Structures are given as C-alpha cells and as structure tokens.
A and B are shown apart, each in its own frame.
Chain A
C-alpha cells in the first residue's frame, strides 16, 4: 500500500485561482544564496525570461564566473559550466567555436571581467566572438568579502582600501564597456542600472538585444549592469540602490556605447 495519499481523492472543492505570474522555465525553482537586497537574483531572472521569450532554452549554454554568481549554473535551468576566475570568455569561445549553432553566454562580476579576466574579455571582443556577456558591476569583490575592484569609484571605502580608493595608489575606475565598444567585433556594448524599476525594465530590454545579437550572428554583445552589494557596501538594501544612483551612475553613466543597426528595433 502506498503511504502517499492520492491527491485527487483528498482534494477539497474550493475557490480556483488563475495563474498570473510564474517563474521562467529557464530558472530552476530553487532558493539562491544571494544576500537580501542583492540585485544578482533579479538579473538572473531577467536573463532567464529573455531565454524563454526567445525560445532558445534548449540550445543555450551558460558559463558561470568565479564571484558571487559562481553557482549560477545551479539556478539556471540550462546546460552550464564553471569557468576559472576571469576565464569565462575564453571558455565560452571554446564552446561556441565547437558548437556554433548554440547560444553561449557568460555571466561575470567586475572583479572577474575587469581585473583578472581583462585579457580574456578584451580578446574575445577583439575576435568578435558570437557570445553574450552579462557583466554585473557592483564596484567591489563581493564573494571574497568586499575588497577594492578596478571598478570601485574614487574614495570608495573597502576592506582593502580602508581610507577610500586613492587614485594615486590604486588608479582610477575602469570603464570596460566604453573600451570594448571601440572594437569592430563588438555588436552591442551598453550600460544599464538596477537602481529603480524603470532602469530594470531598460536592463531587461538590453539583455534581450544582447541575446538577439548572438542569434543574428552579429558579434560579441555585452550588457554592463550596475548592481547592488548591500552586504559589502554595509548599506540597507534601499540605501544600496541609492548608492548606485548617487555614486555609481555619475562615474558609470547609463547609456548605449554601441548598438549594431540591426538591433535597434529588437
């Protein structure tokens, strides 16, 4: 005899509900390890929704970074792998060149992409690899506990810049996306922000264009997303969104540095 009661039999009559909102297929229904108020999770959702909308879930492969998003492959309902710190664009290159009809994307933090992996993203862009890069810039090393990143704004206090970022000591914030936009191999290079719902909507649209660029075989597409790290910024979640608007956006203006003409209506 089964110990599990037959649900059909014990279901009681009652009100029925319409489903008005569901998680995307491309995201697993599992809890994530992200801190409360962290915008990594929302960005995951936007990527997953985009994959669903474009109907590419069955042929998409994700490459996770080393950083807070290291377990992205556990959350996306996709084939996925885990790159070494900063090497995701090289790994994605190997996958895409082997399986040119698949959709390959990397999901990388700013330490991963702009510091240790600077060379890998630069040359993937130079070659115009047909990959999509989701570049989550929270101006700090989240996973290792809040150290200075090449992206940290001037004066930012971090655990490895206790007196605030001093450009004479640690240089100036790096603008990766503007730099990559100069390369002919890049089809899309834009910056978006997560500090308000309106900005998030624009982020979602840019992510969609970045995947469309790959579907259309136009070149490398990168969306830099200004994201919060309330934990290591030592701020409440809402204050962290204010920090993006007040401290990050002035340094890293939201905007389109390059969008291939074919993408403008997509």
Chain B
C-alpha cells in the first residue's frame, strides 16, 4: 500500500466513499467545505447520491430520509451547522436509523470564527438534540486516524442503528498528511429488514419516533438505554502514551491530544515522568481505562480547546482521588507543547514542595483545585 498526501477534509470524504457511503447531503461551512466539494465530484463519478441541501436542517432531514430507506447516508458540517442539525439528530436517534456525521469544529459561541476549536464537546457527546440519547463520538488526532475511524463508522452505525459522529476540528480538516487509504468496498446492495422500500410482498413498515402513550414511550426509552449501555461497555476506545510509569497524566483528545504528545516528550526530557491519555471515543468515554490510570498517578492535567468540557468527564472519573488541573485555549488558539509541558513542570514542582500536589494533601486540596 502506498502513502499519499491528503488534506484532512478530503481524506475523510474518500474514506467514507471507500466505506461504501451511498448518499451525501451537506451544506457549505468553513472549515469543513472541502469535504462537501470533494463529495460533489466523487459521488456522481460512482453513480451515488450527492446533494447540496438548502440548509443544515435540510441536510440532516435528507440524511434521515435516506437512512430510513436503508442506505449508507452521511453529512458533514462545522459547529454552527451542527447546532442546526440537533432537531434532526434527535429524530434519527428516536427512530433508531443509522447515519454518519462529520463535525469539523470551529470557535464559538455564535458565529465565532473559522479557527479550530473543541467547543462542541458537550453538543456532540451530551446534547446532540432533545431527549435521552448519545451518538457514538469518535475523535481522531491525525488524518490517518480520521480515515480509519470513518472507514469503520458505517459498520458501527448499522450494527447499533445509531448516529456516529466523527469529531475533528479545523486543524485536522485543513492539514495535509501522508495517508494510507483503505481498499474500496463493494457497495452494499442488501437493505436492512427494517428499511422502507414499499410494501410489495410484505406488511407495511413504519419508522417513527412518536409514542403518545407514556408507558410505551418509556419502554422505547428503556430499550434505547439498553442499547446505549451495550455501546458503552463495548465501544470505549483510547490511546495511552508513556503511561506505564507516568506520575503526571495529560488527558487530551483530537488535535490537542496530538500536541500533548510532544509536550509529554519534552516534559520527560526535563525529568518529569509524564504520560498521555487520549480518548478516541468521546462517547462512550473510556472510563475504565482512565480510572485504572488514576490509581497510579500524582495528578492530572486536562488540556482542551474550550473552557473545560471534557474536564467534567475526567473529574467524574477522578472523583477527587488526585488533583485535576485544566489548561484551555479558546477562540481558535491552539495550545502549544511548551504551555503544556510548562504546566506539567509547575505541577511537579508544586508536588515537590508539598503544595497540595501529592497524595498526603489530596483531601485538603480537593475542594480548592477541583
């Protein structure tokens, strides 16, 4: 297999093509637009469906329709567009049809800017729409990983009849990297036995998220929760980097996870035993793996391109066992390795001085630092 230079957004699109996407519906928004433009050229070439929708509301509802027809449907957007898709995502979750969504996050709130950001963490993992559901959220940190995760995303979506979100950011979407593309899959011709196709030779099928009866809707929700529970136990995915002997653990995802690797190496160069825990699945969050690491470290540094969103997940897992510090940059500012390693050095220094960064002070410091 050869390695070729690919731009993140285009690589994501080609990976979806090779994974057998049948239909793409989208709306232009920076820094995601190249994905849509790539699909506009590529999909018709293969006799597949491409349509530029009138809005992200249109796009997600076209995906909803196509998903009901049992095809591999996807859309892509960036933060403000994802906000508009929330209604559709909730219906898709309630109706249990599969689809794939790429979110190339940018700075917010509001129109924000077109620089990279991670401020959609809550939006994609927690509140992708009204009601109780979570999409599967996967956060690649390199273009190769984006390709590999996208390639598997439709299988996951169809296995669980759920939404899979590939959560990248503007940096990932815009950067060029060498990539090994997976092979082209044969398009699937068999449609699932729940898909709409017309009643010829069988009883009518209905896809809905409406259950007026309270008990019936509760039963539906319980079934949905059971499925989410199964996803939660089987689909946790993460990378541990130099954590075997780590005393100071950085937790970061996506682009920041990648930067943090350099910071960990720099910190180790300065004699600080640092390691990196990089969640790849943001939902389900890789709780068990992080929980186990917490037992062995002196402190945790969460780094994100937001005001501290994943931080809440980390705190819930740490439960005050060790101090948790947070380093966040916003507005499209990307944290530098130096900033992260300086923070690690600071934590190690404080620990040496007994300033609360050690087990003997954990309980006392908990309330202050958390």
Chain A interface residues (CB < 8 Å from chain B): 57-61, 63-64, 70-71, 73-74, 76-84, 87, 90-99, 102-103, 119-120, 122-123, 126-127
Q: Does B54 contact A (CB under 8 A)?
A: yes
Q: Does B57 contact A (CB under 8 A)?
A: yes
Take A78-B204, A123-B54 as given contacts and tell me if A94 and B62 are in contact as well, using a CB distance cutoff of 8 Å: yes
CB pairs A–B below 8 angstroms (15 shown): A61-B69, A78-B198, A79-B204, A82-B91, A82-B95, A84-B61, A84-B64, A87-B57, A91-B61, A91-B64, A94-B66, A95-B68, A119-B55, A120-B54, A123-B53
Residues of A close to B49: CB separation below 8 A: 97-98
Encode B3-33 as 1/0 by CB contact (under 8 A) with A.
0000000000000000000110100000000
Residues of B close to A81: CB separation below 8 A: 65, 68, 95, 196, 206-208
Take A73-B206, A82-B210, A120-B57 as given contacts and tell me if A95 and B65 are in contact as well, using a CB distance cutoff of 8 Å: yes
Nearest CB to that of A103 among chain B residues?
A: B198
Nearest CB to that of A61 among chain B residues?
A: B196
- Is A77's CB under 8 angstroms from B199's CB? yes
Encode B169-201 as 1/0 by CB contact (under 8 A) with A.
000000000000000000000000000111111
Take A81-B196, A81-B208, A94-B65 as given contacts and tell me if A58 and B95 are in contact as well, using a CB distance cutoff of 8 Å: no
Q: Does B51 contact A (CB under 8 A)?
A: yes
Q: Does B67 contact A (CB under 8 A)?
A: yes
Q: Does B247 contact A (CB under 8 A)?
A: no
Chain B interface residues (CB < 8 Å from chain A): 22-23, 25, 49, 51, 53-55, 57-59, 61-71, 73, 87-88, 91, 95, 196-201, 204-210
Q: Output the least CB separation between B190 and chain A (Å).
A: 14
- Is B22's CB under 8 angstroms from A98's CB? yes
Closest A-B pairs by Cβ, 3 of them: A94-B65, A58-B200, A90-B61
Nearest CB to that of B209 among chain A residues?
A: A82
A26–B332 Cα distance when bound, in Å, is: 55
- Is A119's CB under 8 angstroms from B58's CB? yes
Q: Output the least CB separation between A133 and chain B (Å).
A: 14
Nearest CB to that of B70 among chain A residues?
A: A98
- Is A90's CB under 8 angstroms from B210's CB? no
- Is B196's CB under 8 angstroms from A79's CB? yes
Contacts A80-B206, A87-B88 supplied; 12 other A-B pairs, CB < 8 Å:
A60-B199, A63-B65, A71-B210, A78-B204, A80-B204, A82-B95, A87-B87, A91-B64, A93-B58, A94-B73, A99-B197, A120-B54
A96–B49 Cα distance when bound, in Å, is: 11
Q: Output the least CB separation between B62 and chain A (Å).
A: 4
Residues of A close to B63: CB separation below 8 A: 94
- A98 interface neighbour in B57, B59, B73, Cβ under 8 Å: B73
Residues of B close to A84: CB separation below 8 A: 61, 64, 87-88, 91
A156–B209 Cα distance when bound, in Å, is: 34
Residues of A close to B209: CB separation below 8 A: 82
Residues of A close to B59: CB separation below 8 A: 90
Q: Output the least CB separation between B210 and chain A (Å).
A: 5
Residues of B close to A79: CB separation below 8 A: 196-199, 204-206
Q: Output the least CB separation between B255 and chain A (Å).
A: 32
Q: Output the least CB separation between B154 and chain A (Å).
A: 14
Take A73-B208, A82-B210 as given contacts and tell me if A87 and B61 are in contact as well, using a CB distance cutoff of 8 Å: yes
**Which of B73, B87, B198, B206 has the most A CB atoms < 10 Å from its CB?**
B198
Number of A-B contacts (CB under 8 A): 139
Nearest CB to that of B65 among chain A residues?
A: A94
A129–B204 Cα distance when bound, in Å, is: 24
A82–B91 Cα distance when bound, in Å, is: 9
- Is A90's CB under 8 angstroms from B62's CB? yes
- B196 interface neighbour in A74, A95, A123, Cβ under 8 Å: A95
Residues of A close to B57: CB separation below 8 A: 87, 90, 119-120
Nearest CB to that of A63 among chain B residues?
A: B65
**Which of B23, B53, B199 has the most A CB atoms < 10 Å from its CB?**
B199
Residues of A close to B208: CB separation below 8 A: 64, 73, 81-82
Q: Output the least CB separation between A74 and chain B (Å).
A: 8
Q: Output the least CB separation between A81 and chain B (Å).
A: 4
Residues of A close to B87: CB separation below 8 A: 84, 87
A129–B244 Cα distance when bound, in Å, is: 58
Take A77-B204, A94-B63, A97-B62 as given contacts and tell me if A102 and B199 are in contact as well, using a CB distance cutoff of 8 Å: no
Residues of A close to B23: CB separation below 8 A: 94, 97-98
A90–B63 Cα distance when bound, in Å, is: 9
Residues of B close to A120: CB separation below 8 A: 54, 57-58, 61
A84–B89 Cα distance when bound, in Å, is: 10
- Is B51's CB under 8 angstroms from A97's CB? yes
Q: Output the least CB separation between B31 and chain A (Å).
A: 25
Q: Output the least CB separation between A255 and chain B (Å).
A: 28
Nearest CB to that of B23 among chain A residues?
A: A98
A126–B53 Cα distance when bound, in Å, is: 11
Take A70-B210, A73-B208, A98-B23 as given contacts and tell me if A90 and B199 are in contact as well, using a CB distance cutoff of 8 Å: no
Nearest CB to that of B88 among chain A residues?
A: A84
- Is B71's CB under 8 angstroms from A98's CB? yes
Residues of A close to B62: CB separation below 8 A: 90-91, 93-94, 97
- Is A94's CB under 8 angstroms from B68's CB? yes
A84–B198 Cα distance when bound, in Å, is: 21
- B69 interface neighbour in A95, A122, A123, Cβ under 8 Å: A95
- B65 interface neighbour in A59, A70, A71, A91, Cβ under 8 Å: A91
- Is B201's CB under 8 angstroms from A58's CB? yes
Residues of B close to A71: CB separation below 8 A: 210
- Is A93's CB under 8 angstroms from B65's CB? yes
A223–B55 Cα distance when bound, in Å, is: 25
Residues of A close to B61: CB separation below 8 A: 83-84, 87, 90-91, 93-94, 120
